[in-house]
Structure 1
């Protein structure tokens, strides 16, 4: 697997999607759940999508998945789930696997209780 470059991590620290995910997770910790359990999964734009769309082969375009995520009502909890699980495959929360690898490094810093941190 490719090493994460420092500039990628620095960019992830400022990424609005990651900042929204951190805020969302903090609300969950304080008990202000927006959705319980995994019920939000069924509300995603990708709920009925073919797995190949959300999990393309390496080097295949992910534009269709990112477009599906762009207006998804559960994009933020989806990203939180991927970051908590340290999921480096597929498209989650409107992020590409490469972006998420850097975000996971930042996530461990801003959420010390994150799974696997």
Structure 2
């Protein structure tokens, strides 16, 4: 699932494991293997080929961490929180960049003109 909070849309794709299995090999596993079991249906292939390719990555090249503080000026201390019964120190992260790239060069002109708010679910 991919969530676009700005446009309030959710894009999702379901991977289904094929019910077809190959004969069992001597080791007790199928010779088809996991990749063979995840063969996409024709409908899934068409959906992928008619949708833009979106990649998202986190750029942490310039990231910095700083302990969060709590309290009033003069009475400040380092902030801690309880997480699953453990006392955890709280840090803030700065200069984290989320990069999203969309590739559409494989799409036909009518598909490129398709409204961007269309969900693929």
- After TM superposition, is the score higher than 0.5? no
Higher strand share: 2
Higher helix share: 1
TM-score, normalised to structure 1's length?
0.17
